[in-house]
Structures are given as structure tokens and as C-alpha cells.
Structure 1
Amino acid sequence: MKKMLKDTMFAAFALALCAAPAAADDIKAGDLVISQAWSRATPGGAKVAGGYLTIENKGTAADKLVSVSADIAGKAEVHEMTMDNGVMKMRPLDKGLVIDPGKTVKLAPGGYHLMLQELKGAFKEGEKVPVMLEFEKAGKVAVSLDVQGVGAQAPGGGGMMMKKMPDHSGMKM
């Protein structure tokens, strides 16, 4: 009976480890933890892509994402997408994006996001796209965006899902 209970507990523990979200890709920079960095595959000829990630501030002081850069893009900015009287508006955050202490900010389709413009190549599903984030306090942080399928709504979302929010992969600027 004891062995059976022990084996059952071991199996449950092993299963819990497998089911837990992988934290191996989490990046720590100062008081910040950056996780779930991803983008969508882009169709050939696309000149724009979005980048998404989660930033958690475990510290006691605010930090600010002030800029982003990527070798694959001629221009990269931190953007905000909002709805105003039924019209979707997108704008760069010229003063940066504040991450308050004890808070988590999610960059996701339809909200805050990284805007990568003047792409020098396509994003292919399964690849990693390196970007450099610069924070006011944490400094420069290298992050790799995991490229998901064209219609993905979140990391691991695969390809060709119904899109709730527009993706930037087909935009030309």
C-alpha cells in the first residue's frame, strides 16, 4: 500500500512538472521578469510585424520600457492599440511604457505591442527573432521572439486561428 501511494505521488508530481508552464525562457533583468516573448509568422513581402511579451516588475520602484530595436527591422517602436468610438487607433508610445512595482504588463495583440517595421526578411514559424529591449532602470535586455503561426493569438497558439484582432503581418508602411 505504501509503495502504491508513493508511486502515485511520484506520478502526480511528474505530471505536474510536465503540465506546468515552462519558465526556462523567462529573462530576469534587475527587478523585471520578461516571459512569453513571441511574434507571428509573416507572409512573403510583409514589411511589418508585431512582437508580444509579458513584463513583470517584482521590485518596489517603477521601471519603463523606453525603446526596442531589432536587426531584422529598419525601425522598431513600442506601440499601443486602442478603440475610440469603434475606430481602432495605433500610436507609438514616445514616452515609453511604465511597468509599476508589483504589476505585470502584457504586450498582446490588440493592446500594447512591439511594432517592427521595414522588415528585412520574413518571420518563419518555429524561428526565433532577436530583439533588444531598453529599460530606464534595468538597461538593455536581449530577448528572442518565438515565431508562431500566421494567425496565432498567443504563444503556442499555432497557425491559422480566427483572428480577433488584426495582425500587422500584411501591413505595408
Structure 2
Amino acid sequence: MNLLALLRKTGFGLGFVLGGLFIGAVALWTPQAHAHDFKQGDLVIDHPYATPSLAGTRNGSVYFKGLRNRGGQADRLIAAKSAVAERVELHQMQMDGQVMRMREVPAIELPARTEVNLRHGGAGTHHLMLQGLKQPLKDGDRFDLELVFEKAGTRRVNVWVQTPRSGNASPTHQH
């Protein structure tokens, strides 16, 4: 029995079958960028990404679309490490007169039921600074990063290197 005869016998039309095959193919070939988040207890780490490193530099930055504490108890990000860099520092951006500067902080506070800003941006925002990169970060690269939380423990995430989409991102920082 050929395929057309089988389709007629079961009551399914060729259009129905081809439509299903098309939808399945699209689902398989769609990039998984929309599901790039990690959960650790009440913490949600949404889309960790790094920006491509600048030529001639040995530093890079890691940001998050969101870092949410959905629990009723505060936590703190107290450390991070990755094989791509000699060390990872926790940084906060602050205004110093008319100049935006970053400074290393011992921890990033995660109050209960709050989202903390770890994106490109202005005063008060945080990011992770990769110091002593072992090789340049290029658009499309991926690497593992370990985040150490005071209460939630250690969580390994996969960081995607990508050029920021918005025009407000500055690839340079001043110390």
C-alpha cells in the first residue's frame, strides 16, 4: 500500500501530514535562545551572556537578562569563577562626579522576591568582570561559569558571547 492510499484510508489528507512535518521541522531547527535560563531553588538566572572582548585586552564582562530571587529569604552572590579567565570579580557601576566608574564589591545582594539588575546600564547596576582572559571572547562563543551563592550554593551556567542588541551598551569601563 502506498502513502496516498494509507492517508485516504486513515482519513488524513496529504496537507495535514505535510503541515505537521513542517511544524516539527521548524521546532527542531529553531535556536534554543529563548530557553537560556537556569534555576537553583528560588533563584532564576536568566540568559547569562558576555560581550565580545576588545582587541588587545585581557578582560571581559558577563551580564544577565535577569537574576531573580523568588523566595522569601534574601541571598547573596559571593563569588564566581570560570576556566576562561584567571579570576572573576563582582562589580558595581557608580557615578564619580560626571564619570561612571566600576568598583569591585564583596557580594551582590539578592533581596527576597526581587530582581537584581546585572545588565549594561547606569549607576547601581552590577556585572561580573572576567580578569586575565586566557583567549579573546568572540561573538558566538560559549563557556561555563560557576556562581557561588551564600545560601543557594554553587550553580554552573552556560554563558553565551554576543554583541549587545541595544544601543545603550558601552563595551568600555573605567576603573
Q: What is the TM-score normalised by the length of structure 1?
A: 0.74
Change in Cα spacing, 1:44 to 1:84, as seen in structure 2 (3 Å) is closer
1:125 counterpart = 2:129: no
Residue 45 of structure 2, aligned match among 34, 50, 72 = 34
CA–CA separation in structure 2 for the residues paired with 1:91 and 1:44 = 23
CA–CA separation in structure 2 for the residues paired with 1:97 and 1:42 = 23
CA–CA separation in structure 1 for the residues paired with 2:48 and 2:117 = 10
CA–CA separation in structure 2 for the residues paired with 1:25 and 1:166 = 23
CA–CA separation in structure 2 for the residues paired with 1:104 and 1:168 = 25
CA–CA separation in structure 1 for the residues paired with 2:101 and 2:55 = 25
Residue 156 of structure 2, aligned match among 117, 139, 142 = 142
Unaligned 5+ segments in structure 2 are: 1-22, 24-29
1:65 counterpart = 2:88: no
RMSD over equivalenced CA pairs, Å = 2.4
2:7 corresponds to: none
Deviation at 1:103, TM superposition (A): 0.4
How many equivalent pairs are there?
142
Deviation at 1:108, TM superposition (A): 1.2
Write out the 4+ residue segments of structure 1 that deviate beyond 4 Å after TM superposition: none
Residue 166 of structure 1, aligned match among 166, 170, 173 = 170
CA–CA separation in structure 2 for the residues paired with 1:167 and 1:129 = 19
> Rg: which structure is higher?
2
The superposition leaves residues 25-67 of structure 1 with CA deviations (integer Å, 9 ceiling, x where unpaired) of 2111011010021111123432010100121111000010000
- Structure with more of its chain in helix, by fraction: 2
2:96 corresponds to: 84
Contact 1:123 1:129 in 2 (8 A): no
Q: What is the TM-score normalised by the length of structure 2?
A: 0.73
Higher RCO (C-alpha under 8 Å, 6+ residues apart): 1
1:48 counterpart = 2:59: yes
Kindly provide the amino acid, as one letter, of the partner of residue 142 in structure 2.
Answer: K
Kindly provide the amino acid, as one letter, of the partner of residue 86 in structure 1.
Answer: Q
Unaligned 5+ segments in structure 1 are: 1-13
Bigger mean CA deviation after superposition, 106-115 or 116-125? 106-115
Secondary structure of the residue aligned to 2:155 is: strand
Deviation at 1:168, TM superposition (A): 4.2
